[in-house]
Every structure is written in structure tokens, then in C-alpha cells.
Amino acid sequence: MTTAAALSAVLVVGLITYSSRAGLILFLAERPLPSALVRALRYVGPAVLSALTVNLLAGGEGPSGVEVVEIAAVSAGIIAAVLTRNLIASLTAGMVTLWLLLLLL
């Protein structure tokens, strides 16, 4: 990615982020969002983030880019997150699993 592309990407994401934070406060005060939109917005987070997780594991190399140790690390992180509801515990479990497997394999 060129410097110009990177900088423009950061600025555009920043502008969209600010707009989503400020838009209704500045222009639409008191007007409630349609309930269907609120319903759909609720699932943007889980859908985008889980797709992003899979994509980052593949690293732009298609399905073959997903390594077994990476799947193990993410799975350990997910299990820890379910059990503890704690992000630090989740991250620790995932990375420790990764390091142990890299040492053993």
C-alpha cells in the first residue's frame, strides 16, 4: 500500500467514524431510528468481526493460508472468552496455546 493510499484510507475511515458518532447528535436530535435499522445494526458487530477473524487467519492466501496452530490459538481464545467473559484471559489463552504448539510441533 502506497503512502498516499494509506493516508487517504485512514482519513476516510476517520471521517466515516466521526460521522457515525456525530451525525444524529448534530442533525437528527429527537428523531428515533427506525426499529428495523436498530435491529440490523445490532448484528453488524458480530458479523463483521467474525468474518474479519477468518480473513486475518487466511492472511490473503485463501483457505490454504489458515494454519492449524492458528485455528488452535483462536479456538483456545474463544473457549476462554466463553468461560471467563474476560478479554485479557481470552488473549492470554490464545497466545499461550500458540506458543506451546509452536514449541512442540
Interaction with another protein in 10-29: which residues (CB under 8 A)? 10-14, 16-18, 20-26, 28-29
Q: Does residue 68 touch another protein according to CB under 8 A?
A: no
Q: Does residue 78 touch another protein according to CB under 8 A?
A: yes
Q: Does residue 34 touch another protein according to CB under 8 A?
A: no
Question: DSSP labels for the chain?
Answer: --HHHHHHHHHHHHHHHHHHHHHHHHH-TT-PPPHHHHHHHTTHHHHHHHHHHHHHHHTTSGGGG--HHHHHHHHHHHHHHHHH--HHHHHHHHHHHHHHHHHH-
Interface mask toward another protein for 35-64; x: CB under 8 A: ---xxxxxxxxxxxxxxxxxxxxxxx-xx-
